[in-house]
Amino acid sequence: MAIFKGAGVAIITPFHEDGSVNYEAFAEQIEYQIENHTDAIIVCGTTGEASTLSHEEHLDVIRYCVEKVNKRIPVIAGTGSNCTETAIYLSQEAEKAGADGLLLVTPYYNKCTQKGLAEHFTMIAEAVSLPIILYNIPGRTGGVLIQPETVVRLCREVKNIVGVKDATGNISGVARLMALAGDDVDVYSGNDDQIVPILSLGGKGVISVLSNVAPQQTHDICEKYFAGDVEGSRSIQLSAMNLIDALFSEVNPIPVKKAMNLMNKKAGVLRRPLTEMEEEHAKVLEKAMKEFGIL
């Protein structure tokens, strides 16, 4: 059974002006997501600025999220690293904290071969008992891509590797993966503009940036599709395109934090090297938010 089905939010990490984690705002955002029917929370991923959290902060944020959610919906912890031992440590601590699953990004910077990817993910999986979703995002990892054959082999041979978040943008690659996988791989869209296309290929849902600002609508894209209302699902997907484009007009999570601050959701500042959104892009974002009815 899939860890979750539907729309999981790749939740931001809110910061105070001094750069410390704003846990009060984080609690409010968690409640906002649950109240608006988000199907899972993915904490400490790319959108959560995990790369600029210390290991202590990273684990504290996971623990806090697990405690606040209190089993109402699944919490999936981002615990990937380009160092296998670090990923094992973070994954084991997330399991101790009570996370329901793990999201493991492909190793970045030092890169590796398909053999290296298989060994990396297998070693992490064998160190924990939680179900694992692999995270394929070559644009963030120096072009490192888990090939469809490797994804399928890992899901079939390693009992707790269950799926993949696909942020490649390559629908043909997803189709090839699904053709190879049968029912052995749970596939989630990692791109908000490709939710319906990936659902149409048999995907289980989305791990979404859009959900931070439009949780109900993102949930409904999936829910309507699963209920057979393909036209209703498609309509929401297409109506959100201008907003999705604006949310990725600068590197994530710069725009989504700006959007949340416009909504008075207390996202706070970004950690360097990320900087505040350019004014020209911010104006386009605000316009798209108004058109979509969330501002």
Residues with a catalytic annotation lie at 135, 165
Helices (H), the chain: 23-35, 55-69, 84-97, 114-126, 148-157, 171-181, 195-200, 215-226, 230-239, 241-247, 254-262, 279-292
Distance between CA 17 and CA 140 in Å, rounded? 27
Query: ∠ CA(239), CA(205), CA(13), 5° rounding?
Result: 85
Distance between CA 87 and CA 225 in Å, rounded? 35
> Which DSSP state fits 269?
P
The pair of structure tokens assigned to 257 is 């934090």
What does each C-alpha distance from 217 to 24, 192, 233 come to in angstroms? 25, 12, 9
What residues contact residue 31 under an 8 Å CB cut-off, 6+ apart?
68
Burial of residue 224, with CB atoms counted within 10 A of its CB: 0-12 exposed, 13-18 middle, 19 or more buried: buried
Helix (H, G, I), strand (E, B) or coil at 288: helix
Peptide bond connecting 253 to the previous residue in cis, omega within 30 degrees of 0: yes
